[in-house]
């Protein structure tokens, strides 16, 4: 069966510090991978998605970037965090077919102070 | 632009009191409508996928239905463990567009 991991689970970072969040998927090959952010009390906002190694699509211009160095690894980064980057970050995967279900990881709670 | 609106924002139910959640949407080329359950501090858990108007799916006390403009999630005789936020999302291409969710609290 497939499993998706995210770490760290929680993170408190000062404004201006760098960020690296990691997501890995087990039990599947060539998945589509996604990063979402969920602000408190709000719906999920798609940040990036990837259909293959090195292929990243950005949905919202912002202070963040994403990379996919391996087939089942997806990384969310920032060079300098802003207060507005605080939120709940979720990684998801799906098989590479349109209309297929996205499955979410446990999430990373980021607080920027 | 794809839009998804969920109502109500919050719902308080007594145990056993059935109710329905609404998800209305506008999308160009619907590839699927998805329902998720999210517990506090956790990632969304997949419940259902609906692909075409008239389709229905059931799981335990939950039943999802789909029309051309909206979807309903019916909760029959809910229990306290059904308390969660229920999220609806529509897919066009590779991307999901989510609604704001409905927070459901079932009191014993």
**Residue A37 predicted with pLDDT over 90:** yes
Q: pLDDT by residue (tens digit) across A49-78? A: 999 999 999 888 678 999 999 999 999 999
If one counts the domains in chain A, the total is 1
3 state SS of B42 = coil
Asked if B34 lies within 8 A of A98 by C-beta distance, the reply is: no
**Residue A41 predicted with pLDDT over 90:** no
Buried b vs exposed e over B41-69: b needs ≥16 C-beta within 10 Å? eebbeebbbbeeeeeeeeeeebbbbbeee
Among A12-26, A49-63, A93-107, the range of highest mean pLDDT? A12-26
Q: What is the mean pLDDT of residues B10-39?
A: 95
Judged by a CB distance cut-off of 8 A, whether residue A50 touches chain B is no
Report chain B residues whose CB lies below 8 A from the CB of A98: 31, 91, 93-94
**Residue B16 predicted with pLDDT over 90:** yes
If one counts the domains in chain B, the total is 1
Report chain B residues whose CB lies below 8 A from the CB of A102: 34, 46, 96
Cβ atoms of A58 and A66 closer than 8 Å:
yes
Structural domain boundaries, residue B78: 3-107
Confidence of residue A85 (pLDDT cuts 50, 70, 90): very high
**Residue B98 predicted with pLDDT over 60:** yes
The CATH number linked to B95 is 2.60.40.10
Report chain A residues whose CB lies below 8 A from the CB of B95: 46, 49, 59
**Residue A31 predicted with pLDDT over 60:** yes
Structural domain boundaries, residue A17: 3-112
pLDDT of residue A87: 94
Nearest CA in chain A to B94: A98
Q: What is the mean pLDDT of residues B33-42?
A: 96
């Amino acid at each position: 069966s497939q499993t998706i991991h995210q770490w760290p689970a929680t993170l408190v970072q000062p404004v201006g510090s760098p960020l690296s969040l990691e997501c890995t998927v087990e039990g599947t090959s060539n998945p589509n991978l996604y990063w979402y952010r969920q602000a408190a009390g709000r719906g999920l906002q798609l940040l990036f998605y990837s259909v293959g190694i090195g292929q990243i699509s950005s949905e919202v211009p912002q202070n963040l970037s994403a990379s996919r160095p391996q087939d089942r690894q997806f990384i969310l980064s920032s060079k300098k965090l802003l207060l507005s980057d605080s939120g709940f970050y979720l990684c998801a995967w799906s098989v590479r077919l349109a209309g297929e279900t996205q499955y979410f990881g446990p999430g990373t709670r980021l607080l920027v102070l | 632009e794809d839009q998804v609106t969920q109502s109500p924002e919050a719902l308080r139910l007594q145990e056993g009191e059935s109710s329905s959640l609404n998800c209305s949407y506008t999308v160009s080329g619907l590839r699927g409508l998805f329902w998720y359950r999210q517990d506090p501090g956790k990632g969304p858990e997949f419940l259902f996928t609906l692909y075409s108007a008239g389709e229905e799916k059931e799981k335990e006390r939950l039943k999802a239905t789909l029309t051309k403009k909206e979807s309903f999630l019916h909760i029959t005789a809910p229990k306290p463990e059904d308390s969660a936020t229920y999220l609806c999302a529509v897919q066009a291409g590779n991307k999901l567009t989510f609604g704001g969710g409905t927070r459901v609290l079932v009191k014993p």
